[in-house]
Amino acid sequence: MLAFHALVLVVVPSFVWLGFWQLDRWEEKAAAARLQEENLAADPVPVEELDAVGAQVDPQDRWRRVTVVGTYDSDNELLVRNRDGSQGVGLHVLTPLVAEDGTALLVNRGWIDQPPSSKAEPEVPPAPEGEVTVTARLHYSETPENTGVRRREGLPEGQIMLIDVDAIAEDLPYPVYGGYGDLTEQDPASDPAPEPVAAPETNTGMNLSYAVQWWVFTLTAIVGWVFLMRREIRDAAQGGTAEGPQAESPREPIGHPSGS
């Protein structure tokens, strides 16, 4: 029983802590989902209001829509590997958009199909020539630390694994904004064009359900402990009564001899 009591003392606080940990995870995801929904619904603003050359995009500004007027630099276009689209895994087309002041925003124009082999040239819809007005969802630069994706050597020329803006900017002849944008609108539009990148669905996960489950386990453990304790106390009481001294039976009175 001592071992059982010790187990309960360990299990109950652990289950309570796990429940609150799952609740914290749910609150974090819910806050991120709210931020994403609010930023996607906000009116677009000029990119310079939320980003700057060589700066880091504030995570609170991620998913905000920004506008840029400029000309695509197709000569420095890159393809980003292992990106999901409606037809499976393919490539994202990343093209610098150079504004009139000479600064550029890396614009993810959308998804294209993966070629049948690594040596085959993918079919990339060309960016429009001349000046365009672009609206894009703002993102911060991708790194191995914030994506969990490793850099890879030996990729085909013009292909990358991460949209690491600082690394890409080192090979460009103009200053580059610190973030990049997923294209949502373009005037004039491209035809044909890569498949637009859809904003991910907000998802708070199952953490709230897991928190409730841990607390149910806690309650179950406590109720089970109380039930066993009551049974042990009852059994001990019954055992003590059974083993106690038995009452002596009354003696028969001593009879007198009969006769006269």
260 pLDDT higher than 60: no
Given pLDDT bands bounded at 50, 70 and 90, which one contains residue 5? low
pLDDT at 259: 47
Tokens of 20: 């609150």
Q: pLDDT category, 247, cuts 50, 70, 90?
A: very low
Does the pLDDT at position 96 exceed 90?
yes
* pLDDT at position 205: 65
Note whether 193 and 125 are within 8 A (CB).
Answer: yes
- 69-81: string of b/e by CB count within 10 Å (b at 16+)? ebbbbeebbbbbb
Q: Cα 228 from chain centroid?
A: 42
Contact partners, residue 77, CB within 8 Å, separation at least 6: 93, 94, 95, 96, 124, 127, 158
Q: What is the mean pLDDT of residues 46-56?
A: 94
179 or 223, which is more confident: 179
Decide which of 75 and 54 is more confident: 75
Mean of pLDDT values over 118-146: 91
Query: Could you tell me which residues come within 8 angstroms of residue 107 by beta carbon, excluding any fewer than 6 positions away?
Result: 68, 72, 94, 95, 96, 97, 134, 136, 180, 181, 183
Average pLDDT taken over every residue of the chain:
84
What residues have CB less than 8 Å from 190, skipping those under 6 apart? Answer: 109, 125, 126, 127, 128
Residue 129 has pLDDT above 80, yes or no: yes
Q: What is the pLDDT of residue 11?
A: 77
Tokens 């799952």 belong to 22
Quote the pLDDT of residue 253. Answer: 54
Higher per-residue confidence, 222 vs 2: 222
* Model confidence at 238: pLDDT above 60: yes
pTM: predicted TM-score of the whole model, two decimal places:
0.71
Rounded Cα–Cα distance for residues 35 and 4 (Å) = 46
Q: What is the pLDDT of residue 204?
A: 61
Mean of the pLDDT values across residues 1-20? 73
The H or E element containing residue 223 is: helix 207-243
